[in-house]
Amino acid sequence: MDIATVGDLVEYEMNQDGTGVINKILPRKNYISRKAPRIKGAGNRGERLEQIVGANIDNLIIVSSYKSPNFNNRLIDRLIVAGESSHLNIIIVINKIDLDLSHTSEEWNKLYSKIGYQVFETSIVEQKGIDALKNSMNGKVNLIWGQSGVGKSSLLNAMYPSLKLKTGNVSESTSKGKHTTVTSVLKKVDEKTFVVDTPGMREIDPYGIRKEDLGHYFKEFSLYSDKCRFNTCTHYHEPDCAVVSAVENDFINGDRYQSYLNILVTIEDDMNF
């Protein structure tokens, strides 16, 4: 550990000219990371290093939007895995519910609430859910993570107007955000509350997770995984897998299981985690 990241506590010295030197990074209580994205044009070759996103975090606030960009449960599940493997408290936000005329967000809310996560449906346009979300962030260090354009910076501005973070619109043709926030910055918003706004990301592959451990980060599997025939079961091809039968009997949601399989395959394909 030699490079300081956002959220690190450090010992430093200031020079007279306003520059400074970090002498020491204090031990981290936790940190969250992902595999560094592949460099365009580099193909699939080369080891992907660990990229640390933040340290000493209490709440991982996973922000998605109902539309523009479209709700992406696969991405949420990947972010959950990263958060669970770092033992963070995970909060899920479905923003832009003003665009959700069919109330589909409620179904997703139910799914994730049932697993045990706090879920907030929010709208900047209709000023919904914002106070409740703010309450859950009170007194904590909160890292906000999600795709570009889902409204991370807009939500922070709505909760803490003095932040005045830059926000950007979403491309009409692709429904994608334009990567308005470019660096992660930790801000103190009151005596005890801190927020880290982060740049939107396109992909996330959790770092350093072994195949046989992935199931631990899908919390609802734990009710069943003790009953698999093999204690190293990856809940995929093994016989007498209690997780697979729970999926077949609708005790585990099929979408969540599909997310699990998608991540499992990427671990198998990539030896250098």
Ligand X SMILES: Nc1nc2c(ncn2[C@@H]2O[C@H](COP(=O)(O)OP(=O)(O)OP(=O)(O)O)[C@@H](O)[C@H]2O)c(=O)[nH]1
| Per-residue tokens: 49 | 């290093």
Stretch of 91-99, 113-121, 192-200, 241-249 lying at the interface with Zn ion (CB under 5 A): 241-249
Which of the residues 172 through 191 are near ligand X (CB under 6 A)? 177-181
Is residue 98 a contact point for ligand X (CB under 6 A)?
yes
Per partner kind, with CB cut-offs from 5 to 8 A, the member of Mg ion, Zn ion, ligand X, none near residue 54 is none
Is residue 204 a contact point for ligand X (CB under 6 A)?
no
**Residues making up the chain, counted from first to last:** 273
User: Residue from 86, 153, 234, 259 that binds Mg ion (CB under 5 A)?
Assistant: 153
Distance CA 79, CA 269 (A): 19
| Per-residue tokens: 268 | 């198998």
Stretch of 3-11, 137-145, 177-185, 228-236 lying at the interface with Zn ion (CB under 5 A): 228-236
Please count the residues of this chain forming the interface with Mg ion, following the rule CB under 5 A: 4
User: Residue from 59, 86, 95, 225 that binds ligand X (CB under 6 A)?
Assistant: 95
Q: Which residues have a Cβ under 8 Å from the Cβ of 249 and sit 6 or more positions away?
A: none
- Backbone dihedral region of 211: left (phi > 0), alpha (psi from -120 to 50 degrees) or beta? alpha
Contact in structure between 12 and 70 (CB atoms under 8 Å): no
Q: Which is nearer to ligand X, 111 or 124 (CB)?
A: 124
> Residue 123 pairs with which residues in a beta bridge?
128
Is residue 214 a contact point for Zn ion (CB under 5 A)?
no
CA 273 to chain centre: 19
Distance CA 17, CA 5 (A): 24
Is residue 181 a contact point for Mg ion (CB under 5 A)?
yes
Is residue 245 a contact point for ligand X (CB under 6 A)?
no
- CB of residue 236 to Zn ion, shortest distance in Å: 8
> What distances in angstroms separate CA 90 from CA 8, 106, 135, one per listed residue?
20, 18, 14
Site string for ligand X, 142-171 (x = CB under 6 A): ------xxxxxxx------------xxxx-
Distance CA 8, CA 197 (A): 15
- CB of residue 261 to Zn ion, shortest distance in Å: 12
Nearest partner of 221 among 116, 107, 102, 123, judged by Cα: 116
Is residue 64 a contact point for Mg ion (CB under 5 A)?
no
State the amino acid at position 37 in one-letter form.
P
Q: Which is nearer to ligand X, 180 or 225 (CB)?
A: 180
Nearest partner of 82 among 257, 223, 185, 213, judged by Cα: 213
User: Residue from 6, 158, 243, 252 that binds Zn ion (CB under 5 A)?
Assistant: 243
Distance CA 7, CA 143 (A): 9
Per partner kind, with CB cut-offs from 5 to 8 A, the member of Zn ion, Mg ion, ligand X, none near residue 233 is Zn ion
* Residues found near ligand X in the complex (CB under 6 A): 95-96, 98-99, 123-125, 148-154, 167-170, 177-181, 199-200
Residues that bind Mg ion (CB under 5 A): 152-153, 180-181
Q: Which residues bind Zn ion (CB under 5 A)?
A: 228, 233, 235, 241, 243
